Structure 1
Amino acid sequence: MLPKWFLQHWRLLFGVLLLSAAVTTLALNLYVKNLTSSRRYNNPNQIPPQRVAIVLGAGIYNDRPSPMLADRISAGVELYKLGKVKKLLMSGDNSSEDYDEVTVMQRYAIKMGVPKKDITLDHAGFKTYESCYRAKEIFGVKQAVIVTQNFHLPRAVYLCNQLGVDAVGLGSPDWGSYRKDTVMRYTFREYLSTIKALWQVHITRPQPTYLGPFEGIK
Structure 2
Amino acid sequence: MKISLAKFLRLGVWLSITLILFVLGTNIWVVQSTKSSIYTIDTVPLNNVALVLGTSKRTVEGKPNRFFVERMNTAASLHLDQKIKHIIVSGDNRTKYYNEPRDMLQALGDLDIPEEDISLDFAGLRTLDSVVRCTEVFGQNKVTIVTQEFHCYRSLFIAQYFEMEAVAVSADNGGPIGNALALREVLARTMAVLDLYVLQRKPKYLGEEIILPIKS
> Do they fold alike, i.e. is TM over 0.5?
yes
Which whole-Å CA distance do the structure 2 matches of 1:155 and 1:200 have between them? 12
Which whole-Å CA distance do the structure 2 matches of 1:108 and 1:53 have between them? 16
State the partner residue of 1:32: 30
Q: Residue type of the partner of 1:3?
A: I
1:1-218 alignment, distance < 5 Å: 1-4=1-4, 7-41=5-39, 43-61=40-58, 66-173=65-172, 176-178=174-176, 183-218=178-213
Deviations 1:24-46 (A, max 9, x none): 111110111111011012x2110
The Cα shift of 1:3 comes to: 3.0
Determine if contact 1:44/1:79 at 8 Å carries over to the other structure: yes
The Cα shift of 1:213 comes to: 1.2
Deviations 1:97-152 (A, max 9, x none): 22111111011011111111100100010100000111011101110110111111
Which whole-Å CA distance do the structure 1 matches of 2:49 and 2:41 have between them? 14
Structure 1 unmatched ranges of 5 or more: none
SS of the residue aligned with 2:150? coil
Which whole-Å CA distance do the structure 1 matches of 2:210 and 2:57 have between them? 25
Say how many residue pairs are matched: 211
Determine if contact 1:80/1:87 at 8 Å carries over to the other structure: yes
- Following TM superposition, the consecutive aligned residue runs of length 4 or more in structure 1 with deviations greater than 4 angstroms are 62-65
SS of the residue aligned with 1:45? coil
Task: Evaluate the alpha carbon distance shift between residue 209 and residue 160 of structure 1 in structure 2; reply closer, same or farther with a 3 A threshold.
Answer: same
Structure 2 unmatched ranges of 5 or more: none
Determine if contact 1:163/1:201 at 8 Å carries over to the other structure: no
SS of the residue aligned with 1:216? coil
Which whole-Å CA distance do the structure 1 matches of 2:205 and 2:63 have between them? 25
The Cα shift of 1:191 comes to: 1.2
Deviations 1:178-217 (A, max 9, x none): 4xxx522111111111111112222333231211211121
SS of the residue aligned with 2:88? strand
Which whole-Å CA distance do the structure 1 matches of 2:186 and 2:49 have between them? 27
TM-score scaled by structure 2? 0.91
TM-score scaled by structure 1? 0.90
Deviations 1:36-63 (A, max 9, x none): 011012x211001011111011112399
Deviations 1:68-115 (A, max 9, x none): 111111111111111110011100001222211111101101111111
